[in-house]
Structure 1
Amino acid sequence: MTATSNSALDRPEFVLAVLEWLDGREVPADVISDAFTLLANERRRLLLAVMTSYGEAITLPDAAEEVAVRETGRAVTELSGEQVANVYLSLYHDHLPRLVDAGLLEYDQERDLVSPAPLQ
């Protein structure tokens, strides 16, 4: 069996676990759909994971660097400036605004700082 087939075997279990977790909770369908849409993109999931691991404000360039490291599995010294710049631009223009709008992250554009949003 390959690694791909192993991860495919885990998918049904994951889906069932999510459905079980949702069972009995009053979560509007649009909230569930929005959450899955946000989490559907790997780069957004990685940014959320980076911010969770730091737990405090970091610069967007540092966040982009860490996302690039996690995406590629390479050390930061092995990444080109262009790779990190591409991640930065996609975070800045696409992924970060979505996560800020969803109330998951905060962004101070003047200082270029990203921080986890306080959960209510």
Structure 2
Amino acid sequence: MSSQTYSISDLARELDITTRAIRFYEEQGLLSPERRGQERIYSPRDKVSLKLILRGKRIGFSLAECRELIELYDPTGGNQKQLQTMLNKIAERREQLEQQMLDIEQMKLELDTAQERCMQALEFTIKSQQVV
């Protein structure tokens, strides 16, 4: 692994996020930069962790799930356990999304039915007023 390090502003600029977001992930225990006085020094591992957090957020993982994946990171062991866990979480997320899509379709049908009933009731009300 490279001995390159990053400042908080380097990571923020490179990953297009705010320094505040990086500090938040640090407060949550997801990143652990070295400290030189007040300055935070991030390692390549921190950068990988941050990328994993951002990717996880984009696909709907919780911070706890991101933490679990970060803890499994093992560049020397080929990351098999991390990758298998990630695949399992992706399958779970996909299942959740499929269920949400079914729920949305059902809700749309119920909205269509409610709308149709309201339109019929309104039409009936207008016709009854015209008869009087």
After TM superposition, the score normalised by the length of structure 2 is 0.26
The higher relative CO (CA closer than 8 Å, separation ≥ 6) is in 1
Larger radius of gyration: 2
After TM superposition, the score normalised by the length of structure 1 is 0.28
